[in-house]
Structure 1
Amino acid sequence: MSDIVAGKVVVVTGAGGGIGRSVALAMAASGARVIVNDIGVSLAGEGGGDGPAQQVVAEIRASGGEAVANTDSVASSQGANQIVQTAIDHFGRIDAIVNNAGNLRDRVFHKMNEEEWRQVIDVHLHGAFFVSRAAAPFFREQESGAFVHMTSTSGLIGNLGQANYAAAKLGVVALSKSIALDMSRYNVRSNCIAPFAWSRMTSSIPSDTPEAQARVEKLKKMEPGKVAPLAVYLASDAAKDVTAQLFAVRANEIMLFSQPRPIRSVHLSEGWTPESIADVAIPSMRKQFYALERSPDVIDWDPI
């Protein structure tokens, strides 16, 4: 058993199953005291109660760890404040946040309605902001802290039928970078992980074509537990110099993703017109254009 986060208090949202559960268990196994947050509903928002969070807490305690369940929603400032306050009330401090809570409302863009859009943005993007913001004053006062945000290649690269999810997950990347910039003076770090793993989220992927079925079978090989070690590391003091980075975990692979930077520029001394842009600028840059690709088109090799 590792002790890399021994004594730290860590909040893991959406920790009732899948990746969040694996992260919560790994944090506890590595010495952390864990707030296991899960609202206890399905991906579609059905159900409720404290079942999943309490079950994970029971697992942690059975293994000799310390954990407390919380069932508040990340989608409101009030709920997020209560999640962090649970850590303060039970353990007296907060050292790391893992923003993992998520939902899906997949729909092709031109058929997506306002409710489907807002529900996903509320949980993923607003949730990451609200929970992070609730922890920020404590991190600032103690001059230490770590944020780990779960993003997705659906936002980084693209995917079909996920405009809401992709927009939220790319927004999380920008949020993480802003947190890293604004709070670096207080020794607070913020990083992202894009996980590849079979979970409640990915189990909703349609598999009604041979191509989709092959993709699902490939995903099933990627265990949620494979994501946890990186999350634990990023929450630890061993990662004190790692911030504003964007990682992905795919089975036994850890990837470092690039971040947007200029790759080509063109200049015209007299300035541009729409016509000169069409005749000169775009032809000059076209070879550097990105293709209309989805995540599985770009990361298309078998998991290791």
Structure 2
Amino acid sequence: MTIRFDNRVAIVTGAGGGLGRAYALELARRGAKVVVNDLGGARDGTGSSLSMAQQVVEEIKAAGGEAFANGASVTDEAQVAAMVAEAKDKWGRIDILINNAGVLRDKTFVKMTMDDFRFVLDVHLMGSAICTKAVWDIMREQAYGRIVMTTSSTGLYGNFGQANYGAAKLGLVGLMSTLALEGAKYNVRCNSIAPLAATRMTEDLMPPEMLAKMQPDTVVPATLFMCSEDAPNKAIFNAGAGGFERSYITITKGIHLGEGEMTVENVAARWEEISNRDGEIVPENGSAQGQVAFQR
């Protein structure tokens, strides 16, 4: 069965190039009406221009689709609210939000300023929260919504020189996990994509032969699946270069120490047993951690 997005309205942030452009073009090709949002700044977030977003809109229209360009900064609540209002006024609803906009200010933590740390969190984490908040009530009221957060292997597993980026990207997983629970009864599903893609964000981070296999189109199938009617909920999906995997946050079976046994020395002595992954579980929610401790 072909997955279509006819009569669906999508907002894609950071859609002037790279992954966002690929998402917007494929959503439109499959019938969606698309808001192509892009501040049009440099990779570090400086500057602005609507030309990149407008070019994507022209591509969509040339292929027979519907779209409009928007240059709102995802960090500006008023600009984001205006963008959402324009889409709602024009097309009557908002069904899909892909939080893709991002910046890089990579440095080792010893050299990183708090301004650089804060700015990256503002764009990735707060920007995604601001955009999601702006569409949340609309999606709840229409009993339909599909939201995708963009996490990263850096957030999930760490990467040298990206403390700010990693903190923001794992923060998005926490945001996604809670929104997935809160939105479920309203048919608003929230998932995360951890993309492996050759874009201007990664062009100088990997060798050319790897980048050649990591075109944005290789991530599109995973992200658009999470935008579809049959999307999962609360999933972390890794995709790129032909690979598709799912990441989980798990808890080991661990140990239980009785009264009088809970000493630093006993924890140290049984660290390997605590770390043993045999029988680990994926909790449904945060309170399940406490249940693991008491169900012994």
Report the TM-score, using the length of structure 2 for normalisation.
Answer: 0.88
Matched, 1:54 2:43: no
SS of the residue 1:249 aligns to: strand
CA shift at 1:286, angstroms?
5.4
1:285 to 244, 265, 274: 274
CA RMSD of aligned residues (A): 1.6
1:237 to 229, 233, 252: 229
1:140-195 Cα shifts (integer Å, max 9, x gaps): 11111110111100111111100000010011111111110011111110011100
Aligned partners of 2:252 and 2:276 also within 8 Å: no
1:124-163 residue pairs with structure 2 within 5 A? 124-163=124-163
- Give 2:78's aligned residue: 78
- 1:84 maps to a residue whose letter is V
- Give 2:109's aligned residue: 109
2:266 to 233, 251, 276: 276
Aligned partners of 1:196 and 1:219 also within 8 Å: no
CA shift at 1:130, angstroms?
0.6
CA shift at 1:3, angstroms?
5.8
- Give 1:121's aligned residue: 121
CA shift at 1:217, angstroms?
2.9
- Bigger relative contact order, structure 1 or 2, given CA contacts below 8 A and separation 6+? 1
Alignment length, in residue pairs? 276
Q: 1:286 to 1:248 in 2, by over 3 A?
A: closer
Which is richer in helix?
Answer: 1
Q: 1:263 to 1:84 in 2, by over 3 A?
A: farther
CA shift at 1:283, angstroms?
4.7
- 2:238 maps to a residue whose letter is A
1:204-243 residue pairs with structure 2 within 5 A? 204-205=204-205, 213=207, 216-239=208-231, 242-243=232-233
CA shift at 1:260, angstroms?
2.7
CA shift at 1:129, angstroms?
0.5
Matched, 1:253 2:243: yes
2 CA distance for matches of 1:172 and 1:217? 30
Aligned partners of 1:35 and 1:86 also within 8 Å: no
2 CA distance for matches of 1:272 and 1:3? 54
2 CA distance for matches of 1:20 and 1:93? 21
CA shift at 1:263, angstroms?
4.2
1:172-191 residue pairs with structure 2 within 5 A? 172-191=172-191
CA shift at 1:268, angstroms?
3.5
Aligned partners of 2:11 and 2:35 also within 8 Å: yes
CA shift at 1:80, angstroms?
2.3
Structure 2 unaligned residues grouped into runs of 5+: 278-296
Q: 1:260 to 1:65 in 2, by over 3 A?
A: same
2 CA distance for matches of 1:195 and 1:46? 23
Aligned partners of 2:8 and 2:31 also within 8 Å: yes
Aligned partners of 2:101 and 2:123 also within 8 Å: yes
CA shift at 1:79, angstroms?
2.6
Aligned partners of 1:222 and 1:251 also within 8 Å: yes
- 2:245 maps to a residue whose letter is M
CA shift at 1:33, angstroms?
0.1
Q: 1:286 to 1:150 in 2, by over 3 A?
A: closer
1:251-286 Cα shifts (integer Å, max 9, x gaps): 2221111223234234234241223333x3325335
- 2:38 maps to a residue whose letter is D
Aligned partners of 1:10 and 1:97 also within 8 Å: yes
- Give 2:283's aligned residue: none
